[in-house]
């Protein structure tokens, strides 16, 4: 693979410190670049300009193929990784997790009070990120039990919880940035992370 230029391309997605671009020659791959870094400066979390890919992050991708999109190429400035089907995953979360979270909050108002000032009956599936809620409440037994009871697809929720818990056990970082825009399906239909 030759060196890649992204100067005139529009990102298809971005996060706190990364931009993601389509790889026009290979529709099954994306280009991930870095435009910043988060550091604590004078006691406050701040973004620092940096365009170098975090090699430890990419090593984590490579060393955990069960968790992350496949890495094809890495340079100092970008990584070429497998393009995951994030749209289908997002649809599945909105259909299988988000309504179950709303029902769980309605059935357990004390749980919703931990998360929002809205009354449980005012909540809708659009109020939150279903995967992010499972991440936030992953150790809350009553919440997880409620979601598993209320979902139309227990297997999907169990698979997502397994991915989240495995990420926390395998990634050498104590805050794992898991939300529905950082997850997708690979070519075989496995849930994988795009970021952490």
In a 3-state reduction of DSSP, which class is residue 10? coil
Q: In this structure, are residues 84 and 184 in contact, taking their beta carbons and an 8 Å threshold?
A: yes
The domain segmentation of the chain, as residue ranges, is 1-83, 84-196
Which residue pairs from 33-36 have beta carbons closer than 8 angstroms and sit at least 24 positions apart in sequence?
Answer: 33/6, 33/77, 33/78, 34/77, 34/78
Over residues 63-82, the pLDDT tens digits come to 989 999 999 998 887 888 89
Backbone angles phi, psi at 82, to 5 degrees: -60, 135
pLDDT at 85 exceeding the cut of 70: yes
pTM of the model: 0.79
Backbone angles phi, psi at 8, to 5 degrees: -105, 10
Cα 52 to Cα 30, 35, 37, 75, distances in angstroms: 17, 8, 9, 9
What is the fold, at CATH topology level, of the domain defined by 1-83? Phosphorylase Kinase; domain 1 (3.30.200)
- For the record, the structure tokens of 88 come out as 């289908």
Residue 180: closest CA among 57, 100, 88: 88
| Across 134-148, average pLDDT | 84
Over residues 149-191, the pLDDT tens digits come to 999 999 999 999 999 888 888 876 655 667 777 889 999 999 9
| b/e per residue 65-102 (b: at least 16 CB within 10 A) | eebbbbbeebeeebbbbbbbebeebbebbebbbbbbbb
pLDDT at 92: 93
């Amino acid at each position: 693979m030759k060196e890649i230029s992204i100067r005139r391309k529009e990102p298809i997605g971005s996060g706190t410190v990364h931009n993601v671009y389509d790889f026009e020659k290979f529709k099954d791959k994306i280009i991930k670049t870095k435009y910043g870094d988060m550091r604590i400066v004078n006691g406050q979390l701040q973004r620092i300009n940096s365009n170098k890919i975090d090699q430890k992050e990419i090593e984590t991708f490579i060393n955990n193929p069960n968790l992350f999109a496949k890495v094809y190429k890495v340079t100092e400035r970008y990584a070429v990784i497998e393009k995951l089907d994030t749209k289908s995953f997002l649809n599945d979360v909105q259909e299988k997790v988000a309504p179950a979270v709303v029902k769980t909050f309605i059935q357990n108002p004390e749980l919703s009070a931990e998360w929002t000032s809205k009354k449980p009956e005012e909540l809708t599936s659009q109020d939150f990120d279903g995967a992010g809620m499972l991440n936030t409440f992953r150790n809350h037994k009553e919440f997880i039990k409620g979601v598993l009871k209320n979902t139309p697809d227990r297997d999907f929720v169990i698979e997502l919880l397994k991915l989240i818990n495995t990420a926390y056990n395998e990634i050498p970082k104590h805050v794992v940035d898991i939300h529905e825009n950082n997850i997708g399906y690979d070519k075989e239909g496995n849930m994988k992370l795009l970021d952490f």
